[in-house]
A and B are shown apart, each in its own frame.
Chain A
Amino acid sequence: MDGTITKEAIFKPENIVYKKTSLMTDNILSYCPGCGHGTAHRLIMEVIDEMGLESETIGIAPVGCSVLAYEFMNVDMQQAAHGRAPAHATAIKRLMPHKTVFAYQGDGDLAAIGTAETIHACNRGENFTTFFINNGIYGMTGGQMAPTTLPGMKSSTSPYGRDLKSMGHPIKMTELVAQLPGTYYVTRQAVHTPAAVRKAKKAIRKAIEIQQMNVGLSFVEIVSNCNSGWKMAPVQSNHWMEENMFPFYPLGDIKVDGKLIEKK
């Protein structure tokens, strides 16, 4: 022995503190370094794995940055037209009520073009789970203004900042769907720090558990960064998110057990 630590010496079962779930494929993520999508994908897949639902899960990918989610999530997946994931999920869950069904959507997909599908699936109390990744921008198409872009926030289609008078206000879809009787669990989370990741995973697990109860739609928003679209370094974008996104989109549960959380 010359004292060199070999790969084989490290890769022993007793040394493993973390292992990628087999429900994430080995494909290289198409997301920008620093983006929250990869973490959100992993958390959902870990929960599905830990709950033993691998063979009973069907996921729906949206249009947007996560259009290729099916390349990374190692479960049966469908890729929907822009905004229509809730329509897919509705039909799949109605036709196969014992399956676990989730829609994974971005803010442009869920809160602009797919608003009708989102609201009506929530209002009918469909028994699936929606994961809503809100980064306040259209990332895939190159950083255009989204329905959730903050007031004054610059994007490629609001180059002088979002002017509320001409461009309208950002929409708080999560608060909106919480008002509907068909939603049972509505929460807003983030994945930018280890603590936030742990909390988000608990919320994701709770959402999937609620789906097994057949009591209505469970809805998890994840406020995320888009360092490329926001034109910032990843760390800077996380700070900017804390300072600007969280005051407008505050983290925490909005509706639990079918009841709105009273704000003090």
Chain B
Amino acid sequence: MEKELRLMKGNEAFAEAVIRAGADGYFGYPITPQSEVMEYLMAQKPEEQTGMIVLQAESEVASINMLYGGAGCGKRVLTSSSSPGISLMQEGLSYLAGAELPCLIMNAARGGPGLGTIQPGQADYFQSVKGGGHGDYRIIVIAPASVQEMYDSAKIGFDLAFKYRTPVLVLTDGATGQMMEKVYIGEQHPRLTEEEIKEKYPWATTGKSGGRERNIITSLDLDPYRHERHNIKLQEKYKTIEENEVVFEEINIEDADYAIVAYGTTSRICQKTMQLAREKGIKLGIFRLISLWPFPKKEIRELSKKVKGILCVEMSAGQMIEDVRLNSVDGAHIQHYGRMGGVIPSPTEIFDFFEKNYIKD
């Protein structure tokens, strides 16, 4: 069968993709620059197609706790928001991680801090990959760089969420969320029936039919030693994720003397920077992060041994660079170039910075 091709915004592609991935429920609150997600879902009326529920909640706080309720029942649930709204959800994410519940969250990040701006930003990296809320936990963070990847991230995200019983965050920004590109639409995956959920997710609170003991979804344990064992179990799970779920893309790294490390929108912009460098005979490659957590620790270490210098490009004051430095060999030449407050760097300004700081005459 020929694949269906459409011209869509990143936000809309993500919305279409969650329906096709067999999502059971979307719970969200409007915020720029991602309101198209809920608008698209409301217009599509997925309840009439697949039975998927779409609900506009009273706040991001309510949205994330609706995810907690739905995920606790073994349902495929998601929300989307942008930076200030994602900050409001951090408490809920901590509970979801503690109770080991699968769900999908999309952050079309904007410049901060505070209300900041509605223009794109990448300053939510720390919040996303270091836990974000209270307690020792991590969530899987994937960073799409195109409208197609926005689409693909829905199913990949849900699959990872249920594989490890963890929240999965799709971290994009206003640029990738708003831009239009062609996108291949995949097949419609059916939603699971209640019987299938009971069989696949025996931990879910679906009502204790079939003579089983009651199921309890909680992140609370007042016995510190038992709760420590729960924490150890979580850390073991995170270790397994780190061993198995690192995803990245190398572009012209094979012959590279220098490398840019970037993710999402900036990794796209840097492809033009790389082209400018190569036109001048400078062997510049791009190491693009796709999974931000788990972070490609080993690969970054190897990269830092191989190249003469690494330039980290982010729309932030330099957040990802901390993980790059932490995992690189001592003495590696690593610098940051970034813009803040919603400003998108141009390929030429990145190249100018790179040439000035890395290419000695």
Contacts and interface: CB of A to CB of B under 8 A. Distances in A.
B214 A117 contact: no
Q: How large is the interface on A (under 10, 10 to 19, 20 to 34, 35 or more residues)?
A: 20 to 34
A99 interface: yes
Given A78-B72, A92-B73, A87 B214 contact: no
B68 A76 contact: no
Interface string A88-113: 11111011100100000000000000
Q: Which has the most chain A C-beta neighbours within 10 Å: B62, B69, B91, B92? A: B69
A58 B194 CA distance: 14
A175 interface: no
B58 interface: yes
A185 B150 CA distance: 45
B62 A80 contact: no
A83 to B, nearest CB: 9
B206 interface: yes
A68 B219 CA distance: 11
Contact of A95 (B25, B68, B220): B25
Contacts, number: 123
B214 A77 contact: yes
Interface residues of B, number: 39
A79 interface: yes
A127 to B, nearest CB: 13
B24 interface: yes
Contact of B66 (A67, A75, A90): A90
A87 B73 contact: no
Given A57-B207, A67-B220, A90 B72 contact: no
B30 to A, nearest CB: 15
Contacts of B59: 116
B216 A79 contact: yes
Nearest to B56: A124
A55 B210 CA distance: 8
B22 to A, nearest CB: 13
B205 A91 contact: no
Contact of B77 (A81, A91, A117, A120): A91
Given A84-B65, A87-B66, A87-B69, A79 B219 contact: yes
B69 A90 contact: yes
B69 A81 contact: no
B216 A88 contact: no
Given A75-B214, A94-B25, A81 B194 contact: no
Given A76-B207, A80-B68, 18 more contacts: A55-B209, A56-B207, A58-B206, A60-B69, A70-B214, A76-B215, A79-B217, A81-B95, A87-B57, A87-B62, A91-B27, A91-B67, A91-B68, A91-B77, A94-B25, A95-B77, A116-B61, A120-B57
Interface of A: 54-58, 60-61, 67-68, 70, 74-81, 84, 87-92, 94-96, 99, 116-117, 120
Interface of B: 24-25, 27, 53, 55, 57-59, 61-63, 65-70, 72-73, 75, 77, 91-92, 95, 99, 194, 205-210, 214-220
